[in-house]
Structure 1
């Protein structure tokens, strides 16, 4: 006979645990940091270099104060040491720099970016990092669309930096913040004032949103709409190098998924050999047929004048081949050594349009070795982070997580971009390199370890996603 008891075995019903307001605000700050980093040239074009620098300094100070206050768990022995060694050598170049003012300014920018990336990686879990990055990318895509709509329907014409209307036809449209091409089918530049920058941010957004969908995040149909917007902006930006990066992302993704299907020892070795042969053959074919390839993409075979820029940079770089001329990423156009040194479309060039050539100019062979070590270490760890099953005990068949794809796909974007741009050395390129390299070493397993213990608020991303 059932007997009613006043002492039930189960716990009384209670509301599910909720995130603390302080942590919601912390994640909001991390999103703002990512927006500032992703904005790139948008802030200087809108408000000037002084205001942009002030925002960077404030973000740095706030992040340091929050770090000291929160004191997140960090394994200090497991830092991205090669990348930090590159940063240290850049700071050390102040001792021999031929442009010390430019070195001081750009090293400060590099330090601010590095500290911001380490802060985000220290206070957020893997799934929170992806969520925050997705939110920041939504802001940048939305602002780019709204800006182009405002230029077309309210401003009614091209616009110069700092919201200045041209007096008449400009000598070269490269000086324009927006060319008002939204309705005429031309290349659009978004808030970045640069079509290539818009294309790369849109490509990164496609990758992040797709990973969120694969993670079974909430509101997946809305994420699908964001992907469509990112694809639209990617196409309208019309960047040839970003198109090559997109191809690289697809190839890397397919390779990772194939590697995940292996079940026996030695299977991956065969795949690695096949892919190595295909990759080398593909690169040689693209280079041999570059006239046709880049013509099909609407670009010249010398990558729109980049080869001539590389030649001039290398001519100067070999004069100081070991330790370089001194760090300056980007090149400060007001610095006499850079002012009118290399001119493209009437404007002083601010980068070598190849991160390896740029590093060789600034930090010589030592710098090239350090940045190579940083990228090799990052690519190596991110690759096995993606292809290895999560395992911390005898269970060997746990499902893969989609989140682990993000670092290696981001690495593919940055490496291809670095062949024609120097931007992986600053802003969001450097930020994500530090963030993911640091996070992989701190938390090599998603949801496991001291830095991953906080899972409240991540309930929309199920930990068993494939």
Structure 2
């Protein structure tokens, strides 16, 4: 007959550690901050340019109010200053210094505040969330955007029965170009949809990000996989209905990176990896050359012109003229271009709307901050590309153990980076708002915590250990 002993061989069972209410609120705040960055155009369309600016300023003040006391409690010496993404920080500092020689000082100051807001936000997220929490926060953000997009598209199609305009639906006088509309109500008639963000191209890229995030979480065998599959179907449907050629190219690049990364993980020897590098780098070069030679029939197949819908003839040529005026330090920072500034108002127009950016992030950087800014931006993205690639393909090791399983979450930064770099060929969003936030966040997080689940800030959630305050 078994007897209870006061000297058991193992510790008595106990409930797992639970997240504090404060940390849950913090995670919710991060989701709101990401939503304000990814869906900033929705805020702009809803409350106007002043309201959108005030919204980001409020997030900047709130982030500093929460983040500075946290660093003070942990001691400033405990903050990983040496692991900051210094190329991105240097670019942010150069953007502020450009006020001294800017041709549009007001636009420089306004847009630098936006840049500083998303930079501080990216650094703050790294300090307060673990890798798993960051991915879950991204997933929650994309779910909100997809859900709100479905709601507003259904509302316009079934209730309003006509397109709606930004800024509380104020209708200007005279004939109206369809590009002025916030939502055109094409959900049921087969046209391109714009979603809550009011732009088909941005909506398509966000849907692609959502598919990558949901896929990584699904592969990581998180809970609610059926729900993730349903959200993925909605994101795929919106991606197809947005009809963005840029998003399709980004999806192809992400698929290629995913295949190569998975093959690299299966390689057992350095020689096998070298052969894969030679094969895929050579294949990519040949494929790129073929796409360039066949660009006209391919663009015609996608319903686009060979000049990328007027980018090369109208936008890029005008931007290059300004690049030539101040090639070394540029004309002054402004991302995005401020449409009411005299330097940009009416300079380049598309369907009667002042263009907000150069539709190529490298040309945009050269025009604003010159060759020096281009070098800093190249270092920032090349550093992220390098670190995220080996973060994805190298087996996690911190001692002699060489047989630990890979984590699906480590694939996400390299996939996002590939999307941003390809998108940057025809858009400038990778250097502003959510694009810049992703660059700062992933660059800093990989340097601070290069292994998922390992590190002081990873213990509470991933390993179930109670965090210890630094003395």
Shorter-chain TM-score tier: over 0.9
Q: Does 1:377 align with 2:379?
A: no
The residue that corresponds to 1:443 in the other structure is 449
Find the counterpart in structure 2 of residue 42 from structure 1. 42
Task: Give the structure 2 partner of residue 393 of structure 1.
Answer: 399
The aligned runs of 1:125-164 (5 Å cut-off) are 125-164=130-169
Q: What pairs with 1:64-103 in structure 2 (closer than 5 Å)? A: 64-71=64-71, 74-103=79-108
Work out whether 1:298 is the aligned partner of 2:324. Answer: no
Q: d(CA) in 2 for partners of 1:2 and 1:304?
A: 81
Contact preservation (8 Å) 2:357, 2:364:
yes
**Contact conserved, 1:18 with 1:456, CA < 8 A, in 2?**
no
State the 1:458 CA deviation: 8.0
Measured in 1, the distance between the counterparts of 2:433 and 2:91 equals 16
> Distance between the aligned counterparts of 1:285 and 1:6, measured in 2?
76
Q: d(CA) in 2 for partners of 1:457 and 1:162?
A: 47
Which blocks of at least 5 consecutive residues in structure 1 are unaligned? 460-466
State the distance in 1 between where 2:194 and 2:377 align. 30
- Cα separation, 2, equivalents of 1:359 and 1:41: 21
Instruction: From the superposition, tell whether residues 369 and 153 of structure 1 become closer, same or farther in structure 2 (CA, over 3 Å).
Output: same
Residues 144-182 of structure 1 deviation map (CA, whole Å, 9 limit, x = unaligned): 111111111222201111131647884311111111111
TM-score by length of 2: 0.94
Q: What is the aligned partner in structure 2 of residue 210 from structure 1? A: 215
Q: Please, which moves more after superposition, 263-272 or 407-416?
A: 263-272
Whole-Å separation in 2 of the counterparts to 1:389 and 1:10:
32
Q: Distance in 2 between matches of 1:355 and 1:163?
A: 31
**Aligned with residue 201 of structure 1, among 202, 206, 217:** 206
Match of 2:331 among 288, 306, 325: 325
Please give the per-residue CA displacement for 1:381-439, whole angstroms capped at 9, x wherever unaligned: 00000010000011111111000001000001100100000011111111111000000
Residue range with higher mean Cα deviation, 275-284 or 225-234? 275-284
2-side partners of 1:227 and 1:278: how far apart?
30
Q: Does 1:240 align with 2:239?
A: no
Cα distance in 2 for partners of 1:47, 1:281 equals: 48
Q: Kindly state the Cα deviation for residue 15 of structure 1 after the two structures are TM-superposed.
A: 2.6
**Aligned to 2:270, what secondary structure does the other structure show?**
coil
- What are the superposed Cα offsets for residues 161-218 of structure 1, whole Å, 9 maximum, x if unpaired? 1131647884311111111111110001011111000000000000000000011110
Structure 1 window deviating more from structure 2 (166-175 vs 318-327): it is 166-175
What is aligned with 2:267? 262
Q: Verify: 1:32 aligned to 2:32, yes or no.
A: yes
Secondary structure, aligned partner of 2:81: coil
Native 8 Å contact 1:90 1:327 kept in 2: yes
Distance change (3 Å), C-alpha of 1:140 and 1:246: same
Work out whether residues 158 and 166 of structure 1, in 8 Å CA contact, stay in contact via their aligned partners in 2. no
Cα distance in 2, alignment partners of residues 249 and 202 from structure 1: 13
Q: CA 1:303 to 1:21, structure 2 compared with 1: closer, same or farther past 3 Å?
A: same
Higher helix share: 2
1:434 aligns with 2:440: yes
Q: Call closer, same or farther: CA 1:26–1:422 in 2, change over 3 Å.
A: same
Task: Write the deviation string for residues 124-161 of structure 1: whole angstroms up to 9, x where unpaired.
Answer: 00011001110011001111111111111222201111
Maintained 8 Å contact 1:19/1:457: no
Identify which of 334, 337, 340 aligns with 2:340.
334
Tell me, yes or no, if structure 1 residue 173 matches structure 2 residue 174. Answer: no
**Cα distance between partner residues in 1 of 2:241 and 2:4:** 70
Residues 265, 394 of structure 2: 8 Å contact kept:
yes
How do residues 414-429 of structure 1 correspond to structure 2 at under 5 angstroms? Answer: 414-429=420-435
Secondary structure class of the residue paired with 1:44? helix
Q: Matches of 2:351 and 2:376 in 1, distance apart?
A: 33
Correspondence for 1:355: 361
- Aligned to 2:202, the other structure's residue is in SS state helix
State the partner residue of 2:285.
280
Question: In the alignment, which residue of structure 2 is the partner of 1:463?
Answer: none
